[in-house]
Structure 1
């Protein structure tokens, strides 16, 4: 009788003339082992994703955004404005932080101007977000 937690197996071992030991097992047992191996690979992949995401968060390459912020961004709201408001910054504060006028920032937030890539980098640094969030 098998102990609790063990699986009874009908594996046969064959010793070949060349010295190899072969295991012969029922297809159902083989399928079970293949499924377990696939699950182990999925678990390992998920663990890698979690480790990589945790490292990216720690290094500032990723940021966790509240759902309300993500929803606004997904609905096409201006990213600079959404992220500035999320960071509880006034327009004047962000404008000073990136070295532009408040009027210029207002035009960017209202979609009348884009600003060069270097300015987008400054926004990302000032807002503490990856540049990807600011680039379409």
Structure 2
């Protein structure tokens, strides 16, 4: 059976009922189209910034995001404190979780690490 039935409303076709054999052949094609649309949306929304796996792994292991990025960028605490204009003890306290750091300080660190500030703040 390959006949397709149409259900009309107000004289216009509104629904199509297809035999299961046809549906089974069409369903994967529809799924592929959905996947392509999702990919296109993700690509259009991509701002070019990506978190490297090594940084993500470190954060998942409990390392503070600032330390994870600092180590990824091969910076010492001395180098990052100098680049961001923040004292080394203050930076150390932020990385160890003893202080949260003000937005201004986090913004300075983010600029020195070349990352968006929102990814440095711990939840």
Given candidates 29, 34, 37, the residue that maps to 2:30 is: 37
Question: Residue 111 of structure 2 corresponds to which residue in structure 1?
Answer: 125
Return the offset for 1:64: 3.3
Structure 2: 5+ residue runs without aligned partners?
A: 5-10
**Alpha carbons of structure 1 residues 82 and 95: separation in structure 2 relative to 1, 3 Å:** same
Query: With structure 2 as the length reference, what TM-score do the two structures score?
Result: 0.72
Q: CA RMSD in A?
A: 3.0
**Alpha carbons of structure 1 residues 24 and 108: separation in structure 2 relative to 1, 3 Å:** closer
Output one character per residue of 1:38-74: Cα deviation in whole Å (capped at 9) or x when no partner.
3212222123213422xx11xxxx2231x33211101
Distance across 2 between alignment mates of 1:75 and 1:25: 51
How many residues are matched?
116
Distance across 1 between alignment mates of 2:24 and 2:93: 62
Whether the 8 Å CA contact 1:63–1:129 is kept in 2: the answer is no
Larger radius of gyration: 1
Query: With structure 1 as the length reference, what TM-score do the two structures score?
Result: 0.66
**Alpha carbons of structure 1 residues 25 and 68: separation in structure 2 relative to 1, 3 Å:** closer
Question: Residue 56 of structure 2 corresponds to which residue in structure 1?
Answer: 70
